[in-house]
Amino acid sequence: YSELGNDEEEKSKLTNLNEKLTERLATQCKKSKVKHFIYTSSISAGEKSGTSVVDENNGIPISPYGFSKLQTEELLTNISKDSFKITILRPTALFGENHKGSIYELTKRIFNKTFIIFGSGKNKTNFYYVRDFINLLEVIPGDERFYNKTFIASAEPCELNDLITWIYKSLKCTHTIFRVPLFLGYLLALIFEAFSIITSRPLSFSLRRMRAMTSDEICSNKKLKQIYSSTNDYGTEVGISRTVEWF
């Protein structure tokens, strides 16, 4: 369950579906003498740090969803002791065919000529093409190098400019993408934020969204690459092309 957990009902679902369900499954695995449990967590379990690059050791959660995922990791680690081996994967933003997530929304905005770049567009972020993630999942079972470890699963970070260029090229677009100075973007976000508070209505644009669109969000896959060098069999650019074609 991946909602943000902004109200008590969502927080309850996060607890029941992420934590308690995984705990029950892990307990049953222990009884059934399962040898290796691979848990797909989320980068939200450790998405922020005091440095410019997030890794498996310095990342902390900042949302109820992230705290739920981290709590689930800890529950699983405790249950697995002296019983079975575990591997915890924290994928960054997954995208690919048959999934209408953030890349779909971004592609739709570019196609409809409603996408705006705030600032230089040089801020970096991490995506992970689902076929690359599947390839990773296929090599982990039974491989002792992955036992009792946590890994950030991701492609190399890419600039927003590059991401937009790949989508733009895949769509065969010819229009110019509008760019807005950073300070104007934050001014607009502040106005939207104030209006949202006054009207008690959530809006699609906010200071939180603005920061996410313009800040570096770099996650290191160095630990994973030391064991598994084929993290990018397809890569983000090829993944974008195949995904946009599916759209």
What DSSP line would sit under 177-234, residue for residue? PEEE-HHHHHHHHHHHHHHHHHHT---S--HHHHHHHHS--EE--HHHHTT-S-TTSS
Tokens of 174: 């010819």
Second-level CATH architecture of 98-125+155-247 = Alpha-Beta Complex (3.90)
Does the pLDDT value for residue 77 go beyond 70? yes
Q: Band the pLDDT of 3: cuts 50, 70, 90.
A: low
pLDDT for 70 equals 95
Contact of 170 with 244, CB cutoff 8 Å: yes
One-letter amino acid at 184 equals L
Domain with CATH 3.40.50.720 in the chain: 1-91
Does the pLDDT value for residue 5 go beyond 80? no
Domain with CATH 3.90.25.10 in the chain: 98-125+155-247
Question: pLDDT digit string (tens) for 109-156?
Answer: 999 999 989 999 999 999 999 999 999 999 999 899 999 999 999 999
Candidate from 39-53, 145-159, 163-177, 204-218 with smallest mean pLDDT: 204-218
Q: Which distant-in-sequence residues (6+ apart) come within 8 Å of 131 by Cβ?
A: 96, 233, 234, 239, 242
pLDDT for 2 equals 53
**Gyration radius of the chain's alpha carbons:** 20
Tokens of 169: 């090229």
| Topology given in CATH for the domain delimited by 1-91 | Rossmann fold (3.40.50)
Q: How far apart are CA 224 and CA 20, in angstroms?
A: 28
